[in-house]
A and B are shown apart, each in its own frame.
Chain A
């Protein structure tokens, strides 16, 4: 049975300032969704709120996976339920080797009841799996021994996010501008990698301003956010149109939301 992530009337504030003002979204395992909208419209906030970042305060609404409310759960519990966020700006964790970090992560996500100190997945199996995922992503095995994101280039950081996605195989993956700050070769690489990972067991919510990622991962649904709400939904052609023409049309069609925009953001063109 396909799992369903359901977001209903989600209202979220940061430092008492409302950012999300009633978001509704339903995502099924296996689907690809594009989440678009001008800067400041709430896309990243939605991603962080879904993962449970402590700064993002839920004012109203609900987030459920297969009917189970998750909005009160800690981020690690959400991860263990199959939620994943590929960060736009992944942090550095000095001294923590990629392999050690991932082995803990994989052990917890595959065995959600695991407590710290309980057995990790066997080293041999883990290594083998990690190596084959790295091979598929064209990554040097040396990556596994490096400290997490320490001294990584922008492209390497994004690859590391995709490697984690590949290892954790979540039910719902949110890619927060995974294609930003990359040259066109790197964008192509990430796009292809994601399309290989996509499948009936994984839903992908792609937050992007670019076309490339969506070219390789054609969304069934495109959602457009403006001032903290999803104001339009369409298919892949909507994403294409926004990419070509920007958000002027969206603002014209939704003057009330456009008026609420914190700062008049300009349309982002790749």
Chain B
């Protein structure tokens, strides 16, 4: 862990903090230059308005970035972070981060021997530059907007997985991103690269040690799936309800490759995720799943794009969200089809289940199609839990709570059925159950 910060930095993200931050990291020139560039872009973009289309439903008025600071090296180990997923499967490797520092790395020796890289991005970018540099910040470009530039300037590290050509990893890998200290910030970056013909499963989870500590995550996820490769990636966002979560997440899918991407949205006070899937090669396939459960005053916002850039590509997105109390979920989905992407088959769907009169779900699907021989469809539904369903369940001996649980679980089943990984289904199910317990 040569590159973790071991100084406490001034709060905020201005020039003084940036200098102290870069000084503390002692990075090679090429990385430092990237940061400098991104920081300049960040400062520039701070003065520019955010995209109305993407941000108009996300209220940032109470967001005060200067309340948060990057932390120095923390002493806690990941064992102290509550995880829902870690004990559920035998993982071939595990990486954990806390308050922006990598705390543990494990990888089966057999995989390391086959050339698999799995560990701390900050470290491996230096030691394996020739492999990782061409892919780093390729899918999520720093200049995209304020948040991507901010992330690129202050990126603290994160989990990187590199799987060489034709290496197939059967057992899943695990990554944990934790926040512990009050007002800590995490700028972690997940980079997954599958070379042609490789396959892997990465399950990632975010978690807060302290249920009451405010936190900030400005993250990025890059999933690069080579020709004929198969990646399953899951990110369960399970911060406490005092955390702001902003992320740019992009998957690039090459010819005949397939990406199954599952997003779990449980925690955060406000979350906005810009999720892009780009189908770049003929026959590329992406399945995107979302299981979201918002309660209290949470606002969880998803801006998804399925971009078809080649012929015969297929994408299928299903987001299911459950809302309670005064919670709000926004899903803005877009399917884009480039002129060349004939025979595209694109689908997107969002279903919302409302458990209280004061919650609100916005679903805004959209299509932008330039090719003329495609099939693109979308759908959105919103419904309430019917009192008659609850009564029926209770007439069979189920308690009200059990009935509600069963109905909510049933609603998510449409997503669970698509995820063939027991650990993920069980984790999501557990997260839902925990959450149902609050306030009942």
Which residues on the B side are within 8 Å of A104 (C-beta)? Answer: 396-398, 402, 406
Asked if B413 is an interface residue, CB under 8 A from chain A, the answer is: yes
Contact assessment for B401 and A116 in the assembled complex, using a CB-CB cutoff below 8 Å: yes
Using known A-B contacts A54-B391, A91-B389, A116-B401, determine if residue A164 contacts B410 with beta carbons closer than 8 Å: no
Asked if B40 is an interface residue, CB under 8 A from chain A, the answer is: no
Q: How many A-B residue pairs have CB under 8 A?
A: 86
Asked if A53 is an interface residue, CB under 8 A from chain B, the answer is: yes
Asked if A144 is an interface residue, CB under 8 A from chain B, the answer is: no
Contact assessment for B387 and A54 in the assembled complex, using a CB-CB cutoff below 8 Å: yes
Bound together, the chains give a CA A52 to CA B395 distance in angstroms of 8
Tell me the count of chain B residues lying within 8 A, CB to CB, of chain A. 26
Point out the residue from A52, A95, A115, A168 that lies within 8 Å of B396, measured CB to CB.
Answer: A168
Which residues on the A side are within 8 Å of B394 (C-beta)? Answer: 52, 74-76, 79
Contact assessment for B409 and A96 in the assembled complex, using a CB-CB cutoff below 8 Å: yes
Asked if B407 is an interface residue, CB under 8 A from chain A, the answer is: yes
Asked if B21 is an interface residue, CB under 8 A from chain A, the answer is: no
Bound together, the chains give a CA A163 to CA B393 distance in angstroms of 15
B403, chain A: closest CB distance, angstroms: 8
Which residues of A, 28-80, contact B by the 8 Å Cβ criterion? 51-54, 74-76, 78-80
Bound together, the chains give a CA A104 to CA B410 distance in angstroms of 14
- Nearest A residue (CB) for B403: A76
Contact assessment for B410 and A90 in the assembled complex, using a CB-CB cutoff below 8 Å: no
Using known A-B contacts A54-B387, A104-B402, A116-B402, determine if residue A93 contacts B396 with beta carbons closer than 8 Å: no
Which residues of A, 82-104, contact B by the 8 Å Cβ criterion? 84-85, 87, 90-91, 93-96, 100-102, 104
Contact assessment for B402 and A147 in the assembled complex, using a CB-CB cutoff below 8 Å: no
Which residues on the B side are within 8 Å of A164 (C-beta)? Answer: 396
Contact assessment for A95 and B410 in the assembled complex, using a CB-CB cutoff below 8 Å: yes
Using known A-B contacts A101-B406, A104-B406, A147-B410, determine if residue A93 contacts B393 with beta carbons closer than 8 Å: yes
Which residues on the B side are within 8 Å of A115 (C-beta)? Answer: 399
Contact assessment for A79 and B388 in the assembled complex, using a CB-CB cutoff below 8 Å: no
Bound together, the chains give a CA A129 to CA B162 distance in angstroms of 50
Asked if B293 is an interface residue, CB under 8 A from chain A, the answer is: no
Bound together, the chains give a CA A245 to CA B397 distance in angstroms of 40
A61, chain B: closest CB distance, angstroms: 21
B159, chain A: closest CB distance, angstroms: 32
- Nearest B residue (CB) for A149: B392
The DSSP consensus for interface residues of chain B is helix
Asked if A222 is an interface residue, CB under 8 A from chain B, the answer is: no
Using known A-B contacts A54-B391, A96-B407, determine if residue A91 contacts B400 with beta carbons closer than 8 Å: no
Bound together, the chains give a CA A243 to CA B413 distance in angstroms of 46
Using known A-B contacts A54-B391, A79-B395, A105-B396, determine if residue A94 contacts B410 with beta carbons closer than 8 Å: yes
Contact assessment for B414 and A95 in the assembled complex, using a CB-CB cutoff below 8 Å: yes
Bound together, the chains give a CA A104 to CA B411 distance in angstroms of 17
A18, chain B: closest CB distance, angstroms: 21
Contact assessment for B397 and A116 in the assembled complex, using a CB-CB cutoff below 8 Å: no
Contact assessment for B400 and A74 in the assembled complex, using a CB-CB cutoff below 8 Å: yes
- Nearest A residue (CB) for B412: A95
- Nearest B residue (CB) for A51: B395
Point out the residue from B386, B387, B399, B410 that lies within 8 Å of A96, measured CB to CB.
Answer: B410
Asked if A109 is an interface residue, CB under 8 A from chain B, the answer is: yes
Bound together, the chains give a CA A75 to CA B403 distance in angstroms of 12
Which residues on the A side are within 8 Å of B391 (C-beta)? Answer: 51, 53-54, 75
Enumerate chain B interface residues (CB-CB to A < 8 A).
Answer: 386-389, 391-403, 405-407, 409-414
Given contacts A101-B406, A108-B397, A147-B410, 18 further A-B contacts (CB under 8 A): A51-B395, A52-B394, A54-B391, A76-B397, A76-B399, A93-B392, A93-B407, A93-B410, A95-B411, A95-B412, A96-B406, A102-B396, A105-B397, A108-B398, A109-B397, A116-B405, A164-B396, A168-B396
Would you mind naming 5 contact pairs between A and B with Cβ atoms under 8 Å apart?
A: A52-B394, A75-B394, A87-B392, A116-B405, A168-B396
Ranked 7 nearest A-B pairs via Cβ? A95-B410, A95-B413, A108-B397, A96-B410, A75-B394, A105-B396, A79-B397
